[in-house]
Amino acid sequence: MERKGGCMCGAVRFTALEVPAEAGACHCEMCRRWTGSALIGVTVPLKNVTWEDETHLGRIQSSPWAERGFCTRCGSGMFFRVTMESEYSDSIELPIGVFDEADGFEITNEIYIDVKPDSFAYEGQAGRKLMTRAECHAKFGVLGDSE
């Protein structure tokens, strides 16, 4: 499925192909600070995302192994991407809020569930895959001791 999206001011626009309906929520401290909530996003192959113009697309190396993209004009968070060479470095996590049409997604997993604020609750948790910080670090390996 093709989806288009962009930042709040419109300076950064993209088209993403083969966008899955399955979304995930990350509750780590870094994602919460970056989004002001949890990062709820979809994983898309990097090759399937085309930026219309990267002039206002900023990047920050947010940890030794990952970067986050943002609009340099309005500050909207645009993506999260693992930069360390790994099986995850060929994909990009796009927050569902940056899509022009954000309907049709279903949260199928939540990570860093053990640091999720008690005020966060999502409908339809039955059957959702949940992972703690320790489980994420063990599974993904690239995380080391940092977020």
- pLDDT tens readout for residues 58-72: 999 998 889 999 999
Q: Name the token pair of 92.
A: 């990009």
Q: Is residue 46 in some structural domain?
A: yes
Q: Is residue 8 in some structural domain?
A: yes
Q: Is residue 122 in some structural domain?
A: yes
pLDDT of residue 100 exceeding 80, the answer is yes
- How does pLDDT run across 18-51, given as a tens digit for each residue? 999 999 999 999 999 999 999 999 999 999 999 9
Higher pLDDT, 78 or 136: 78
51 neighbors 87 (Cβ within 8 angstroms):
no
- Report the predicted TM-score, pTM, of the whole model to 2 decimal places: 0.90
Beta strands across the sheet bearing 49-51: 3-6, 13-16, 49-51
52 neighbors 14 (Cβ within 8 angstroms):
yes
pLDDT at site 130: 92
Residue 88 φ/ψ, nearest 5 degrees = -100, -10
Q: What percent of the chain has pLDDT above 90?
A: 76
The sign one gets for the Cα dihedral 19, 127, 139, 137 is positive
Q: What is the mean pLDDT of residues 136-146?
A: 67
Tally the domains of the chain. Answer: 1
Spatial distance between the Cα atoms of 51 and 110, rounded to a whole number of angstroms: 28
3-state class (DSSP) for residue 132: coil
Q: Is residue 146 in some structural domain?
A: no
Q: Is residue 145 in some structural domain?
A: no
Q: In this structure, what CATH number is given to the domain that contains residue 129?
A: 2.170.150.70
pLDDT at site 142: 56
Q: Is residue 35 in some structural domain?
A: yes
Q: Name the token pair of 8.
A: 């709040």
Q: Is residue 147 in some structural domain?
A: no
Segments forming the whole domain that contains residue 88? 3-140
